[in-house]
Amino acid sequence: MNSDALPVLWGADGRQMAYRRLGHGPPVVCLAGGPGANAEYLEDLGGLSRGYELVVPDARGTGGSAPPEKAAGYWFDELAKDVEALREHLGLEKMTMLAHSAACTTALVYAATHPDRLQAFVMVAPNRWLYDEIEDDTRRILNNRSAEPWYPTVMSAQRRLDNGPDPDEIPGLLGAIAPALYAQWGEREQAHAATMKPANMDASRLFWQAEVHGREVRARLELVEAPVLVITGELDAATGVNPGNAWAACFPDGRHVNIEGSGHHPWVDEPETFANLVSDFLSVGHG
């Protein structure tokens, strides 16, 4: 992302927060996952910035955004408050929101809390965190790629992650499983994976500790009248495909599209397919 972060006072509790603007057109607020990753890994979302202005905030404690005073400030439900503060700062009565991976959890809490503030909502690679009943298909997807040369290394690193490694080991282990998140593992994918290292381990670790009940969130998603597009990648061994259908079904106007030949970062694996899919969705009176 080639634009400089703009630090301004828009955080929910008055902290200095930063965001970037990229491209031209109707604004789309884009939430990066990780959690705790540098938001620049979203790049221009496969060229989506050619038709839309991407507004990309740095989450608390990353990039140009100040950290919270208390550990609980990193919880995903607290980060949802910053999304509303950003909407107000931008002067938008309703906004179009796109979220990737862990940020989908933040975005779901926001949608449940402010169902009338969404113009359109795109979820990319959502997980099962607020929906335990979804069957986890990530191991099946990974095992289907057992012929890949990186498979033994990925499986070894995954076992260490599953067994609760020391915090200092986590960045290296996350890097070791990176090949399983892409359709290919060439120079382009390796360069992108290098941008995905957690920028703030506290933000990464504490994000998931929010005391939020998934059933309550899902019940309120029925109030969201905005159209919702859920995108998954058929090769996504991080969050899988199954959450796509399940989350789309929670909204009155939700649909799920699974991109073939794509993993956890579809704008990297299939940039044209991804950008066209999102653009077409937003252009039908939703953007």
What's the farthest any 2 CA atoms get from each other in the chain? 51
Which residues, including other chains, have CB under 8 Å from residue 195's CB and lie 6 or more apart? 37, 38, 40, 41
124 to each of 32, 76, 211, 266, how far by Cα in Å? 10, 17, 23, 8
Q: How many domains does the chain divide into?
A: 1
Across 157-169, average pLDDT? 78
Looking at residue 170, its pLDDT comes to 75
- Crossing angle for the helix pair 103-113 and 76-90, to the nearest 10 degrees: 70
Q: Could you tell me if residue 269 is inside a domain?
A: yes
Q: Could you tell me if residue 263 is inside a domain?
A: yes
Q: Could you tell me if residue 128 is inside a domain?
A: yes
CA 28/CA 130 separation, integer angstroms: 24
Our separate counts of H helices and E strands in the chain read: 11, 8
Question: How many percent of the chain have pLDDT more than 70?
Answer: 95
Is the pLDDT confidence value at 237 over 50?
yes
- The residue behind tokens 């221009």 is 44
Is the pLDDT confidence value at 56 over 90?
yes
Looking at residue 211, its pLDDT comes to 86
Count other C-beta atoms under 10 Å from residue 106's C-beta: 26
Looking at residue 20, its pLDDT comes to 94
The β-bridge partners of 43 are: none
pTM over 0.85: yes
Pairing of strands 16-22, 27-31: unpaired
Domain CATH for 224: 3.40.50.1820
44 to each of 18, 47, 121, 167, 239, how far by Cα in Å? 17, 5, 18, 31, 22
Looking at residue 164, its pLDDT comes to 72
Q: Could you tell me if residue 221 is inside a domain?
A: yes
pLDDT digits (tens, 9 = 90+) for 81-100: 999 999 999 999 999 999 99
Cβ–Cβ < 8 Å for 99, 124: yes
Q: Could you tell me if residue 22 is inside a domain?
A: yes
pLDDT digits (tens, 9 = 90+) for 3-23: 566 666 666 777 789 999 999
Looking at residue 1, its pLDDT comes to 46
Q: Could you tell me if residue 56 is inside a domain?
A: yes
Average pLDDT along the chain: 91
Q: Could you tell me if residue 172 is inside a domain?
A: no
Q: What residue numbers bound the domain in which 36 lies?
A: 6-143+200-283
Q: Could you tell me if residue 235 is inside a domain?
A: yes
pLDDT digits (tens, 9 = 90+) for 174-190: 889 999 999 999 999 99
- The residue behind tokens 């997807």 is 141
Across 62-85, average pLDDT? 92
DSSP for residue 11? S
Cβ–Cβ < 8 Å for 41, 17: no
